[in-house]
Amino acid sequence: MSGAAEKIVPQNPSITPELVADHGLNAEEYQRLLDILGREPSMTELGIFSVMWSEHCSYKSSKFWLKKLPTEGPHVIQGPGENAGVVDLGDGQAAIFKMESHNHPSFIEPYQGAATGVGGIMRDVFTMGARPIANMNALRFGAPDHPKSRHLVSGVVAGIGDYGNCIGVPTVGGETNFDAGYNTNILVNAMCVGLADTDKIFYSAAKGVGHPVVYVGSKTGRDGIHGATMASAEFDDDSADKRPTVQVGDPFTEKLLVEACLELMREDAIIAIQDMGAAGLTSSSVEMADKGGVGISLDLDSVPQRESAMTAYEMMLSESQERMLIVLKPDAKDKAEAIFRKWGLDFAVIGETTGTGRLIVRHRGVIEVDIPVGELADSAPEYQRPYVLTEPPALLSPEEIPAPRRLSAALLTLIGSQHLCSRRWIWEQYDHMVMADTVQRPGGDAAVVRIHGTRKGLAITTDVTPRYCLADPEMGGRQAVAETWRNLTAVGATPLAITDCLNFGNPERPEIMGQFAGAIEGIAAACRALAYPVVSGNVSLYNETNGIAIPPTPAIGGIGLIPDIAQMMTLAFKAEGEVILLIGAERGHLGQSLYLDVHFGRRDGAPPPVDLEHERATGDFVRDCIRKGAVTSVHDCSDGGLYVAIAEMALAGNIGANLTLPEHHPAHAILFGEDQGRYVVTVTAGKADTLCAEAADLNLDIRVAGHTGGHELTLDGQDPISLQALKTAHDDWLPQYMSIR
C-alpha cells in the first residue's frame, strides 16, 4: 500500500475550536490529541477521539473511584474490564453477567431506547461465550402525575418486552420506582445473566498479527451516530432534537446472532470477539487491538452498509445494533462464514491485525485514520474531580414522628401506593417463562432460574433505595448492596457477586461527585464485609436536565447460587397456624421511611443504618435455617417495614395473620420502621422455640411477630383489615394508572 492516494484526506470542514467543542473535547483534551498525532486530526479522527474519550467510553471521571471497589474473590473468574463479569458456579460452569444503563436514549425514545438497552447487554454476555438465560431490569420513572410518565412507562416496558420476548430469554424480574427526581431523566438499567462452560469463555484481546478481522451481524447505517457522546452530556429543553442519535433495535437479528456466535464458539475458531456497542466499530476495534497489544487496519469499503454514500466518519461512529467484530484464526474463515451464512447474517472480512500498533482506516482508497492504538485507548484523560461529600442528616427518633389515626388504614395506603403496589402489569408483558427453567417467577425477593439440566438454581435480584442514597450516599450505597445480598439469602441462595450500574448527575459539580464518592465507599464497604465482590458494571453520569440532577442511584444487580432447588424458599405463607418470627435487630427507625414520605410528605432524617456485621450474621443464620428445612417461608423487611413485609407474605399465600406487638416501642415505629438486616420467617408451631434458642446462641435478635391464619391481618387481635382489601389496593394501582389516557 503506497502512493499518492495514501495521504490523510484534506480537512473539510477544517477543524475549528467550535467543531472540537461540539465533539465534547475541551481545550486540554484537544491538545493531548494534537500531541499524540503530531498534526491536526482528520474529521474522522476527531470523531474517534471524541467517542473514545467520552465519559461513557473512557470513565474519565469515575475511574479513580472505581479502583476502590473490591473485585476479587475465590469464585471470580473475570472481574471488571471485560465485556461482562464471570463467576464460577462449579461443575465446569460459569455465570457471566452485567448491568448497563440506557438512560439518555430511553428518555428521548422510550421504546427503542429500552429495547436496544436489552439488546446491548445481551451482546455483552454472549460475546463472552455465554448463552443468556435471564434478563432483569431496574427502572426509575418520574412522578405519576408528570405528563410524560405514562408514555415513558408504556414505551419502556413494551421495548424491553418485545426485545427479550422475541429472542426467547426470560425477563424474570427487576424493580421500578416512581419519583419526581426522575421527571426529566428516567433510568433504564438492563441486566443479563448468561451461562457458559468455564473452558469456553471468550475474551476481547486480539493477540497475534495477520489475523482476519471479521464483521458479522446487521448492516451499518446512520443510526446512533454520537450516541456515546449524547450519553456523556446533560439534557436541556431541546433534548427531543437528539432523537436521531437513538439506535433502532432488531431482536430477530440478535436472536440469529446469538445462535450463530454460540455455534461458532463451539469450534476452535475465535481469537477475540467484541460486540459493537457504544461507539460501534471504533470502540470494538480499538479495544480489541489495545488489549491484544497489536495494530489493526480496516477497509471500510468491505463493511456491509445499509445506506449508500456513507462517509468514514459515519461508519466509524455508527451505533447500528446487532453487530459483532471477531478476530478469527486464519484457517477458520470458511467454517465461520458458512455458519453466519446459514443464519442469514452478513459476514465480511474488513481488515486484519497488524504489528504497527496503529489503527489505520482506509475508505475509497484513502487513509482516513492513522492513530496509535495504545495512546488512543490508554491516554484518555483521567480526572480526580473536586468533590464535596454529602453531610448525613441527623437521626430522627420515633417520638418525633406522629402515629397514624389507624394503623391498618396506613398500611392500606402504603401497599396501594405507587411505591409498593404490585408490578404485575409490567412483568406480565415480559415472557418470564421461556426456556422452561424459571423456578421462581417475578414478585418474590429474587427470581430463580434453574441451571439447565441440573438441580442448581441461580438467584438474581436488583436493588437500590434512591431516597436513602440522596440523604446519605455512603449509607445508601451500603444498603443497596446489602439489600441484594438479603434478597438472595431470602430465597435460599449463597450470594456470589454483584454488577453495579452507577447513575448520577453531572460529575463536574462537586456535590454530585461527592455523592458518587460516598456511594462508592458504601458499596465497597458492604462488598468487603459480605465477601461479595463487584465483577462488572457501568457508570452513567450527566443524568440531569437544566441543572437538576437525579437522586444518586447506584443500582446493584446480585447473583447467588442455590445448590439444590428443592431448598429454594419463597415468601408466601404456606399454612395456617404457623409461628411468624422476626429475625434481626428492631429499632423502629422511621427516618427516610416510606411511611414518613407517603403519610406526611416528609423525607427527612438519616436513612436506616446498615450494620454489616449484623447483616452478615443474620443472613447466614437465615440461609442455614432454609437449607436445614427449618422454615416454611422467608421474606426480607425492606421498604415499608414489618407490616408491609407480613402483608406481602399473606397476599402471596392468601393466608392472614395476627401480629404481636412488643410493648416497649410505639406501634407505628415497630410496624413501619425500615431497620435493615431483618427477615420475617414462618415455622411450624412446634419449631419456634428451637429456632429462637439457636438464634439466641448466636446473639441474634429474634422474637415472635405473630401467627398465620384467617383472611385478615390483625394487630394483637385488633384493628382488622381483610386480605381482599389489601389485595385490591395492591393489584389495582398500576393497571388503573396506566389505563388513564
What residues are annotated to the active site?
Answer: 56, 102
Q: Nearer to other proteins by C-beta: 567 or 660?
A: 567
Does 633 contact other proteins by CB under 8 A?
A: no
Query: 611 in helix, strand or coil?
Result: coil
The per-residue b/e assignment along 551-585, b for 16 or more CB within 10 angstroms, e otherwise, is bbbbbbbbbbbbeebebbbbbbbbeeebbbbbbbb
Does 161 contact other proteins by CB under 8 A?
A: yes
Query: Which residue in the set 49, 343, 643, 672 belongs to the binding site for other proteins (CB under 8 A)?
Result: 343
Q: Nearer to other proteins by C-beta: 442 or 557?
A: 442
Does 436 contact other proteins by CB under 8 A?
A: yes
What's CA 671's distance to the chain center, in Å? 31
Minimum gap (Å) between residue 453 Cβ and other proteins:
9
Task: Pick the piece of the chain touching other proteins (CB under 8 A) from 276-284, 336-344, 578-586, 689-697.
Answer: 336-344
Q: Nearer to other proteins by C-beta: 203 or 343?
A: 343
Q: Is 573 within 8 Å of 649 (Cβ atoms)?
A: yes
Q: Nearer to other proteins by C-beta: 427 or 679?
A: 427
Query: Which residue in the set 35, 145, 382, 428 belongs to the binding site for other proteins (CB under 8 A)?
Result: 428
Q: Is 553 within 8 Å of 140 (Cβ atoms)?
A: yes
Q: Is 583 within 8 Å of 695 (Cβ atoms)?
A: yes
Query: Which residue in the set 25, 96, 167, 233 belongs to the binding site for other proteins (CB under 8 A)?
Result: 167
Q: Nearer to other proteins by C-beta: 30 or 163?
A: 163
Does 302 contact other proteins by CB under 8 A?
A: no
Distance from C-alpha of 714 to C-alpha of 409, rounded to nearest angstrom:
12
Does 162 contact other proteins by CB under 8 A?
A: yes
Assess whether the previous peptide bond of 466 is cis (omega < 30° from 0): no
DSSP letter string over 225-292?
TTHHHHTTS-B-TTGGGGGGGS----HHHHHHHHHHHHHHHTSS-EEEEEE--TTHHHHHHHHHHHHH
Task: Pick the piece of the chain touching other proteins (CB under 8 A) from 40-48, 381-389, 435-443, 548-556.
Answer: 435-443
Task: Pick the piece of the chain touching other proteins (CB under 8 A) from 31-39, 70-78, 246-254, 379-387.
Answer: 246-254
Residues in contact with other proteins, shown as a per-residue x/- string from 44 to 63 under the rule CB under 8 A? --------------------
Classify residue 433 by its DSSP letter.
S
Does 696 contact other proteins by CB under 8 A?
A: no
CA atoms within 13 A on the CB side of 718: 6
Query: Which residue in the set 430, 504, 573, 643 belongs to the binding site for other proteins (CB under 8 A)?
Result: 430
Minimum gap (Å) between residue 439 Cβ and other proteins:
5
Q: Is 438 within 8 Å of 167 (Cβ atoms)?
A: no
Does 166 contact other proteins by CB under 8 A?
A: yes
Minimum gap (Å) between residue 611 Cβ and other proteins:
36
The per-residue b/e assignment along 369-402, b for 16 or more CB within 10 angstroms, e otherwise, is bbbbbbbbbebbeeeebebebbebeeebebeebe
Query: Among positive and negative, which fits the CA dihedral 17, 18, 20, 25?
Result: positive
Minimum gap (Å) between residue 454 Cβ and other proteins:
11
Does 255 contact other proteins by CB under 8 A?
A: yes
Longest dimension (CA), the chain: 93
**Cell of residue 420, nine digits:** 409498593
DSSP letter string over 444-459?
SSSEEEEPTTSS-EEE
Minimum gap (Å) between residue 158 Cβ and other proteins:
7
Distance from C-alpha of 348 to C-alpha of 501, rounded to nearest angstrom:
34
Query: Which residue in the set 195, 565, 610, 651 belongs to the binding site for other proteins (CB under 8 A)?
Result: 565
Does 435 contact other proteins by CB under 8 A?
A: yes
Binding site for other proteins (CB under 8 A): 158, 161-162, 165-168, 250-253, 255-256, 342-344, 427-439, 441, 450, 565
